[in-house]
Structure 1
């Protein structure tokens, strides 16, 4: 069996533990390593070939860290891993970037209905807030922005990333969240996966190349990796996509890097990132005279104050029930005041754009059904 097929087969096996009452090990990473260690005993290759196969397997471990948005697959829970669902069909790229999606939505909304540069400081719920201009009308929710402006509403849908909630939920929502929801925020995983774009004057790859995978021959999933981020952060970057077509993008590679190494990369200057990756490419090609990239551009999801990472995963010690708990509106036994959407609230499509979009539709439908069936609310809801 080829190395790629071996890893793919083992990864498929990790999804078979869903709904089992007990699992042999807590994490996906531990399961994969245990199975690989058994496989190695049956290999009949020479030592050099064995080490190369293990190095390739280590690259696939790093690739899965990017997919899951985690530092290590040891952090990803084995039991619930099979609950994640792949959406059928091909990937969709928005012309002009992700901004095209909200821009499309905005065309159906009244002008001035969306406010920008209004970061929210606190969402207060369960209250009775009176609006000065509407005597006799009270609202249960008050949203206070960092600039001091306040908005009153019947309902608020919170869509901030889980990373932001992990840092600020105790002060961002008042009164504090019920213990079950606060526990879910703490227990679910939220990590960093960044992209690094490198633009070259001329390509060093052949015209039909779509993907460049990086294998470090001295690494193995069965050997603990070093922790010196300064010396080796770039080793976590394991694949470059060739952006196509070059007539549109130029000669550009897109690299992916996850985990603590990705977060460390964010602290470096563009020049330092460029130097490090130029060295990697010189090693990769065996050509120390290859011209360096002329430009570097990267995402910095962990540094961004309102994201603090990229997307969620079901961590060891958590389950899909925590995702459902996070999605539960407040208060739990009365009319809806605070609702929750975002990728981390979708039990099977967490970590994805479609999961985020579907969760927003879910909460919109929840509110629509409330007003379709309730005769007690004659006024137009303030959202």
Structure 2
């Protein structure tokens, strides 16, 4: 008796496990890799049935239809591939209005068969729950490499991956790269524009990663040049009339064009210069040819501006002194007096006496010439006159000077 009771309990327990297994076992219908599953019996509080099991075809969602025959537990879903679905929730009505929840995954065009017979679900209609369209996506990854090497000089970047639905055009992407990249060790790299990738812009590819690579070259230390401009101010004889001016100094790299300079018609070149009490004016007809130009690498450019003297200094005139251009006649009487040092007043008086003597001498000579005897007259009288004149000329300056 005990054995029978044990066997009966064992049989009932086995049947219970079998029922539980059938209830929890996923139900699937294979059609090109498309499946539908259930998570068990769920009371859905009488969801609204939208598809009747009458053999008619009903639209479920874009590109997806469903149909069922009366009295049959089998439902048939057809997808045309225009839209994929990650999830389509379907509620199948069973006995006593109990609903079985199925999850349908649509990964392509085909037919999907849902057999609800293990759950005693006769064809009493079904309801459609949440629908999640399958979204497409793609990836773009950007790399920065040194030319001729696979060593990255900066971390790669991954663009944000957008999503789009089947049938829609894939979104476009656009990448960029900095002109200069400085690494942690102080090395600088320049983008090689002649090697820009063809796929730096384009459209995302479904389920693919697009690799975009930019190449760089190492920047070597460049030679730096320096140029200097020196401005000189001279007169027409080439003498300096003002301190020279170190006007401009510029620096540039060997790969760059030398800069321009301009001194003419600038504040660096004055129109007039005062030097030693004299005024000089810029000679605009003698502007140097290198007044404006281009700096020379590591060279000094000297620019000479010429100035003309506007006023000359006037030498003071001595009272009754001889004119600068007038020269006195040499005296016929030798100077037998010793040299005597005189002051400025005595020098002035001597010059005045000399001037007066010259005038008297000139007058006397003229009188003598007029008193010369005519032809046939005796020369004795003329000789006496000449001797008297010479004595007068020798004594007169001494008398005049002692006054």
TM-score range, shorter chain: under 0.3
TM-score by length of structure 2 reads 0.15
The structure in which a higher percent of residues are strand is 2
The structure in which a higher percent of residues are helix is 1
Which protein has the larger Cα radius of gyration, Structure 1 or Structure 2?
2
Determine which structure has greater relative contact order: mean sequence separation of CA pairs < 8 Å that are 6+ residues apart, divided by chain length: 1
